[in-house]
Amino acid sequence: MNPLIGNWLEFLKLCKIKIIKQSGMATAKKTRATTSKAPFTKETYTFWFESMLLMRRFEEKAGQLYGQQKIRGFCHLYIGQEACASGAISALKKGDSYITAYRDHAHPLALGTDPNAIMAELYGKETGVSKGKGGSMHMFDKERNFFGGHGIVGAQVPLGVGIAFAEKYNKTDKVCITYMGDGAVRQGAFHEALNLAMHFKIPVIFAIENNGYAMGTSVQRTSNVTDLAKLGDAYEMPSESVDAMKVEEVHNSVARAAERARKGDGPTLLEFRTYRYKGHSMSDPAKYRTKEEVQAYKRRDPIEQVKLAMQKYKFGDEAYFQEVEAKIKKAVLDSVKFAEDSKFPDPSEIYKDVYVQEDYPFIKD
């Protein structure tokens, strides 16, 4: 079993979510023809469904709370893109690392970070994952190798290469998956990172979440190269364009990339073709796209597709889906209560956690 899925089951226990007995739970590998023709095990589908539904319901709530001004500052929702996170996590191993941009609530939720601490971070409370000092764009979970949460477009791309370089240097077989948006691939740092990673065969997986827009600017308006997987060609880097509304496709592409990286063959560039249903951030009227376009993607919703597959393979009945929905609703409401009951950080915290060296000379009393 992928230990991360093990973590997930632990997390569900933590949230007092009853784990419905799974027959034939084993690994994310192909199931035997005798049990079912499903391409993945019941356990894997269960992980995908429950992790993606938690992300969706958690962020729907976060959106409401933002409207009530309980959450302040920036808040970028991942709704619609959930398969990009869950499909990668099921394909990777414990100890592999994750780094992303500011659309960063979903990855830690799927990795098993306590939703209470994520909600508290959104509220800026001291019990948050970053002690309330980071907010929406700066989630972090060292225990689960989740390295954030970065607000500068493209800035996390060289960092991801650095994390993966450390794995190579220390001779582990770990990889780092480095997420970015389609807007980030026009940054110079992206190209420098790709060049270096390929040249030194660094075990990094570059995952471009191509949701079609960088704020209100479509990919077509930015460049004549709209097939973003092609950007790997300049560095002779293997690349794939992936239908990321289908979590199975994400899983398979990440599994292939990870295998290549672990063998010492270096990086892969994956272009996840995805879509965000909500605006860029909370203040986006989204006038740059049509309702029909949004509807067309919603008809291919990743969570609905997994639910349909689970029904088809008899991995879940209506009672199961209702039970999961109810338990996740409770976990989200509990996280709101936890965040509201928590304190804001003490003002004395302001100079802490800025530099590793606590008495760094630029900090004055």
Ligand X SMILES: Cc1ncc(C[n+]2csc(CCOP(=O)(O)OP(=O)(O)O)c2C)c(N)n1
Q: Which residues bind ligand X (CB under 6 A)?
A: 103, 151-153, 181-184, 209, 211, 213-215, 280
Between 211 and 253, name the residue whose CB sits nearer to Mg ion: 211
* Separation of alpha carbons 187 and 36, rounded Å: 46
Alpha helix positions (H), 68-184: 82-91, 106-111, 115-123, 156-169
| Residue 25, token pair as written in the block | 């739970």
103 binds, among Mg ion, ligand X, none (CB under 5 to 8 A by kind): ligand X
* Separation of alpha carbons 19 and 13, rounded Å: 7
280 binds, among ligand X, Mg ion, none (CB under 5 to 8 A by kind): ligand X
What are the φ/ψ torsions at residue 183 (nearest 5 degrees)? -70, -30
Residue of the chain from 148, 158, 162, 181 that contacts Mg ion (CB under 5 A): 181
| Residue 139, token pair as written in the block | 């989630």
Between 195 and 217, name the residue whose CB sits nearer to Mg ion: 217
Task: Work out how close the CB of 262 gets to ligand X at its nearest, in angstroms, rounded to a whole number.
Answer: 28
Q: Annotate 288-303 with b (16+ C-beta within 10 A) or e (fewer).
A: beeeeeeeebeeebbb
Between 112 and 181, name the residue whose CB sits nearer to ligand X: 181
Q: Can residue 279 be called a binding residue for Mg ion (CB under 5 A)?
A: no
Task: Work out how close the CB of 81 gets to Mg ion at its nearest, in angstroms, rounded to a whole number.
Answer: 9
Specify whether the CB–CB gap between 207 and 272 falls below 8 A.
yes
Task: Work out how close the CB of 228 gets to ligand X at its nearest, in angstroms, rounded to a whole number.
Answer: 10
Residue of the chain from 104, 167, 182, 271 that contacts Mg ion (CB under 5 A): 182
Between 63 and 345, name the residue whose CB sits nearer to ligand X: 63
Task: Kindly give, in sequence order, each residue whose CB lies less than 8 Å from that of residue 107, ignoring residues fewer than 6 positions away.
Answer: 85, 89, 98, 100, 139, 146, 179
333 binds, among ligand X, Mg ion, none (CB under 5 to 8 A by kind): none
Burial (CB count within 10 angstroms: exposed 0-12, middle 13-18, buried 19+), residue 281: middle
* Separation of alpha carbons 79 and 106, rounded Å: 9
Element (H, E) at 271: strand 268-273
The count of residues interacting with Mg ion (CB under 5 A) is 4
Task: Work out how close the CB of 286 gets to ligand X at its nearest, in angstroms, rounded to a whole number.
Answer: 12
| Residue 147, token pair as written in the block | 């390295």
Between 181 and 266, name the residue whose CB sits nearer to ligand X: 181
Task: Work out how close the CB of 219 gets to Mg ion at its nearest, in angstroms, rounded to a whole number.
Answer: 8
272 binds, among Mg ion, ligand X, none (CB under 5 to 8 A by kind): none
Task: Work out how close the CB of 362 gets to ligand X at its nearest, in angstroms, rounded to a whole number.
Answer: 24
Site string for Mg ion, 202-241 (x = CB under 5 A): ---------x--x---------------------------
Between 172 and 220, name the residue whose CB sits nearer to ligand X: 220
Task: Work out how close the CB of 296 gets to Mg ion at its nearest, in angstroms, rounded to a whole number.
Answer: 17
Alpha helix positions (H), 124-208: 156-169, 188-199
Task: Work out how close the CB of 186 gets to ligand X at its nearest, in angstroms, rounded to a whole number.
Answer: 9
Between 182 and 271, name the residue whose CB sits nearer to Mg ion: 182
In the block, residue with structure tokens 């991360």: 4
Task: Kindly give, in sequence order, each residue whose CB lies less than 8 Å from that of residue 96, ignoring residues fewer than 6 positions away.
Answer: 145, 174, 175, 176, 177, 258
Between 270 and 336, name the residue whose CB sits nearer to ligand X: 270
| Residue 145, token pair as written in the block | 């190798």
In the block, residue with structure tokens 């199961």: 320
Among all residues, whose Cβ is closest to Mg ion?
181
* Binding positions for Mg ion, rule: CB under 5 A: 181-182, 211, 214
